[in-house]
Chains A and B, each alone.
Chain A
Amino acid sequence: MSELECVFREEWGRILSALIQALGDFDLAEEVLQDAFSSAVVEWASGAPRNPRAWLYATAKHTAIDIIRRRSNFAEKQVELMIREECRTPKVIEIEEDSIVPDERLRLIFTCCHPALPAEAQVALTLRTLCGLTTEEIARAFLLPTATIAQRLVRAKTKIRKAGIPYRVPSAPEVSERLSVVMAVVYLVFNEGYSAALGDTLVRHELCAEAIRMARLLHTLLPEPESEVDALLALMLLHDSRRNARENADGELVLLADQDRACWNRPQIDEGCALVQSVFQRGRIGPYAIEAAIAALHAGAAHAEETDWRQISALYGRLFALHRSPVVALNHAAAMSMAEGPEAALPLVDALKSSLEDYHLWHATRADLLRRLGRKTEAVRAYQRALELAQNEVERRFLSRRLAELNV
């Protein structure tokens, strides 16, 4: 990555958040910041300025003021005020001082993840504005046409403007409702990058990295520490720590039990585990905290055989008490099969038939239990059904391999 690319990655969201605050206009802010980066390509050829952030911010803001001046409509008093204020501020000072680029990223993320926007627009807008991904990159990551993403972005920005969605951090009584939307967006971005889908590996890694960056940002910027935010950060760090071990050289999925644990990212595991510990010490355990604790128990086992399945099973039980979903119940049963054996778990899995019959992982879990119980014919049938329902290529290849092993 060139120096300018690094600056872009690091600074785009931060500077854009400040520009939106100053200009009150998403589109204008984006346009002038893009221009500033274009100018930087030329102007920084002989070396970057001492404070790249302040340079970009000042350059973008001056361009914006020029644009506003040229526009015939001077009606908005606020804009005039801003310009007058601007005239008093010498450009030199701006470039010297970093403090004049306020960090408004919290406002930006809460606005992008406003519940009045549809979920898919929240994701696209957050990736575009806060993370600086291009429309094409977002489209590639979600395997959608660029025009679809572009349209989502336009509609979202129009709604922000027309419906009066404010650019602010919600007040205390609203924060928990609003934060859960933000966390859902962050986790969705992570899962899109983490799920073993085919497609551009680089883009997928990028999404995981961006999700982790966003969680770190929340962790750092929120005025009050939020256990669930820390837990989400821990959960993603722990999952992501296994990234290099979960696919073999041929791009095939490697199950947790078969992964080379030496390839796990230890510093990331240590950071994740420390976060989980501090969350559990503070109390107020939410769903992300429980999931993070489960991931921490996996990460803490030096060998697959040493995994503390009893505790994992108990944690899934606790998760189910908070979130009564059949998918959580399925995970609980799978963990229990490891703690107490497949015969104990099979009735629990069978009991979920009516709600999960069309879910490939229900059939795959059932197939695995039947295989371990030596009920080969039934296992084959369940793997076949799972294979019929699975969409994802990597998962399909895994299921086919299992099926082939049984048919030997």
Chain B
Amino acid sequence: MQYLLLIYENEKRFAAGYDPAEMKEYMAFGETYGKAIKGGNALQATTTATTVRVRDGKRLTTDGPFAETKEQLGGFYLVEANNLDDAIEMAGKIPGARLGCVEVRPIETFS
């Protein structure tokens, strides 16, 4: 099964850039789970976000993320795992889980 691991953290922590020690940890995570990781990226701050809606056929573009929250989506991994427990195991190894949290979402399959 595939799961999306969504990393939520208070993005203020990254306002002055990324901590090199933490970057190393992310690299190590990537190496450990290289085979399982199908994709993933860090996201720029929510200050760079734009939200688009279409209502009655009209596009409405607004600044900022769709919701103001204490913690923001800051990055994600798409992983292949045997089951939820294995995905949880991986999520727990993401450095961001220590200060923020990681949401584990199974990928929908359409048959």
Determine whether B84 belongs to the interface, using a CB cutoff of 8 Å to chain A: yes
* Contact segment of A43-51, A163-171, A191-199, A203-211: A163-171
Main SS of the interface on chain B?
mixed
Residues from chain B with Cβ under 8 Å of A116 in the complex: 84, 88
Residues of A at under 8 Å CB distance from B? 114, 116, 162-166, 168, 170, 174
Within the complex, the shortest CB–CB distance from A201 to chain B, in Å, comes to 39
Query: Chain B nearest CB: distance from A118 CB in Å?
Result: 15
A163 touches B85 (CB 8 A): no
B38-81 Cβ-contact flags toward A at 8 Å (1 or 0): 00000000000000000000000000000000000000000001
Give 27 pairs: A residue, B residue, CB < 8 Å, sorted on A.
A114-B84, A116-B84, A116-B88, A162-B106, A163-B84, A163-B104, A163-B106, A164-B1, A164-B3, A164-B81, A164-B82, A164-B83, A164-B84, A164-B87, A164-B106, A165-B83, A165-B84, A165-B85, A166-B82, A166-B83, A166-B84, A166-B85, A168-B83, A168-B85, A170-B85, A174-B85, A174-B89
* Residue in B83, B85, B88, B104 whose Cβ sees the most chain A Cβ within 10 Å: B85
In the complex, residue of chain B having the shortest beta-carbon distance to the beta carbon of A170: B85
Give every chain B residue within 8 A of A163 (Cβ-Cβ). Answer: 84, 104, 106
Contacts of B85 in A (CB 8 A): 165-166, 168, 170, 174
User: In the assembly, what is the distance between CA of A377 and CA of B72, in Å?
Assistant: 55
Cα distance A261–B101 when bound, in Å? 52
Residues of A contacting B83 with CB < 8 Å?
164-166, 168
How far does the alpha carbon of A241 sit from the alpha carbon of B1 in the complex, in Å? 48
Query: How many whole Å from A72's CB to the nearest CB in chain B?
Result: 13
**CB-based nearest A residue for B1:** A164
Chain B residues with CB below 8 A from A174, complex form: 85, 89
Chain B residues lying within 8 Å of A165, measured Cβ to Cβ, are 83-85
- B87 partner residues in chain A, CB cutoff 8 A: 164
CA distance A351 to B31 in the complex (A): 53
Chain A residues positioned under 8 Å from B106 (CB to CB): 162-164
Q: Which residue on chain A has the smallest CB distance to residue B106?
A: A163
A184 to chain B, nearest CB (A): 18
CB closest residue in chain B, given A162: B106
Query: Residues of B contacting A166 with CB < 8 Å?
Result: 82-85
- The answer for the CA separation of A162 and B88 in the assembled complex, in Å, is 15
A170 to B85, CA, bound (A): 8
Kindly name the residue among A163, A164, A174 whose own CB sees the greatest number of chain B CB atoms within 10 A.
Answer: A164
Instruction: Determine the distance from Cα of A333 to Cα of B83 in the docked complex, in whole angstroms.
Output: 47
| Residue of A with least CB distance to B83 | A166
- Distance between A302 CB and nearest chain B CB, rounded to angstroms: 50
Measured between C-beta atoms, what is the minimum distance from B87 to chain A in Å?
A: 8
Interchain CA distance A170-B86 in the complex, whole Å: 10
User: Could you tell me the distance between the alpha carbons of A162 and B82 in the complex, rounded to whole angstroms?
Assistant: 13
Closest 5 CB pairs of A and B: A166-B83, A164-B83, A164-B1, A164-B84, A165-B84
